[in-house]
Structure 1
Amino acid sequence: MKKLFLMSLSIFYLGCNGQNNNNLNKNVGSNIKMGKTIEKLDLDYIKNHAQKISYRVQGAVSSEVLSDEKPNMIYYKLDEVKNGKKIYIEGDEENGFTSEIKYLNSDYLEYISYDGKGNLLTKIKQSVYGFLIEEQEYNERRKLIKSIDYDNEFKFKWEGVKEYLKTLNVKTDINSFNNHPYPNKDIPIPIIKREFIKDTNQTQQYPVGTKKIWCLENVEGIYDNKKGIYSIILDGDSGEVLIVKEFKGKKSGSEGFGTYADYELIYSKLANKKQSSTYKTYEGKDYTRSEWEEFEQKQFEDYARKHNISIAKNDKKDTNGFTSRFLLDD
């Protein structure tokens, strides 16, 4: 877990589809007064109680330092339980510090970043299930300048999400939720996220007017009387089901390099609108019918050029009425 910690502050800015969440620039919904000054990280405490992991002496980094050498920089790690909190801090005075705090009798964590002088830069409050609760950003004088309170922004609350998960026979207590029944590393781990819809590619997947979504990713449950692992998108205001996909396993990537999670579209609110729903999913990308036909035609033309085959359209049809460019004449 600690090896992953250094990436945590960037990971939590990612949305359900890997899109960056740019809403930190919105001064919305915060119950913390803008301009409030926050205390600094106690560097003296860190220096006296943290483990000294590495030293830099004249540009060289070492795990130890000779008694007559004065290091230019010391990298610290602090791991302790104090006042009902499990605290993990690491960093140095040149690059800054990051902190992970788990409140032992609560269902959320905090991820905090500081500059090298201990001044607060960002603070992220996150549920143990994965979704963001609050984001804050501070200026060099440690005053709050930007904030998002996700609980205020989303009309459909976490309590409603839990009730929906129960209809799928998903156990929502954190111990059961994290007790992943599939030890195979190829099975994706369940996580709950929520985000604002800003990216154009995302808005095309949902009904007009959709601004916020809950992402229930890789939850094991029963949907439409079938047990499986599902990724489900809910409207962030109404709680309406927008998309349901079932995990079908891992597939090899292009030309056999790497693997990706393969999902089958089970339900889309846009499915009854012509050319709006997913027709096929290939190498992790969803295609509408027209997009797939265009892609298939291009693939055939590339194949035909390599093998000196005429690209004239043939008369053979597939079962859906589309003339397949791969059904070559005898």
Structure 2
Amino acid sequence: MRNEILEYFRKANGQFVSGEQISKDLNVSRTAIWKHIKILKSRGYIFESSTRKGYRLIYEPDLLTPLEIESVLHTKNFGRHIVYMESTASTNEVAKELARKGAEEGSIVVAEEQRSGRGRLQRGFYSPFAKGIWFSLILRPDFFPMEASKSTLLAAVGVCRAVRSLGLPNAAIKWPNDIMVNGRKLVGILTELSASMEKIDYIIMGIGINTGMERADFPEAFREGATSFRAEGVHVSRKTLLAAVLSELEKEYAVAETEGFARVLDNWRNLSCTLGQSVRVVLGTNSYTGKAVDIDKDGCLLVDTGNEVNRVIAGDVSIRPAE
């Protein structure tokens, strides 16, 4: 009902509408209307009220409601079914439950905030209200389960391209799937899989993109290593960015499904800020340094230590600049 009331005000084009008229047209009590307007105000919407004239909407925050997303979406399947939440612990957890119940491919779960966002290796991911894009995409690919790990590289390619197109042309991928800008992390991607030996049931692609945070807004633990569009001096519409990400992901996914992953991996190489760099590979309490020379056909990082070329498997290690 809140979305219906909001759309009613939008159609009024900034003109006053009476509570009585809204009540009559939407078949809802004036008390309920007032309560919904109060909630909308708490979310950043600004209304002007008049005893005689009623209410009018004079400002809308940049929220990711289905109405807002659908107004800019230009995909065939991705994002055509939207589950919107003002707050949730984790969009990936919601998406997994929906996938288990048969949600169609391309469905997305979008939240204005995540209370317990997660990144790779069970690291926390800061996801404050309306200051980023926090969403999960449900995929049901036809490729073999052994190929599933490469979907995380596919996600990085699609997101990086969208980010570059909207004001951050130097964005690049740190292996395997972090999107970096000026040495700081802008995007985190967590891909989760449900499959048997023969068939993928579903893949959940969880993506978090920092958009509206100032540097000081980040918790101290993330402050030095994280960034956002705003911290980089770029204003971006969240709905426009989400639409661009979904479009690029859909294109890259179509390539993987029809041609395989060879071109996806080439695209990843072209966007990488890891290849050619000295890196430190950390595995538990052990570590070594070397030069990142390539990724192999499985998407694993190849690191030349000078004595041998080691194959680094995604998910088991983190990569840090060599000292």
Task: Report if TM-score (shorter chain) is over 0.5.
Answer: no
Query: Which has the larger strand fraction?
Result: 1
TM-score of the two chains, using structure 1 as the length reference: 0.28
TM-score of the two chains, using structure 2 as the length reference: 0.28
Higher RCO (CA 8 Å, separation ≥ 6 residues): 2
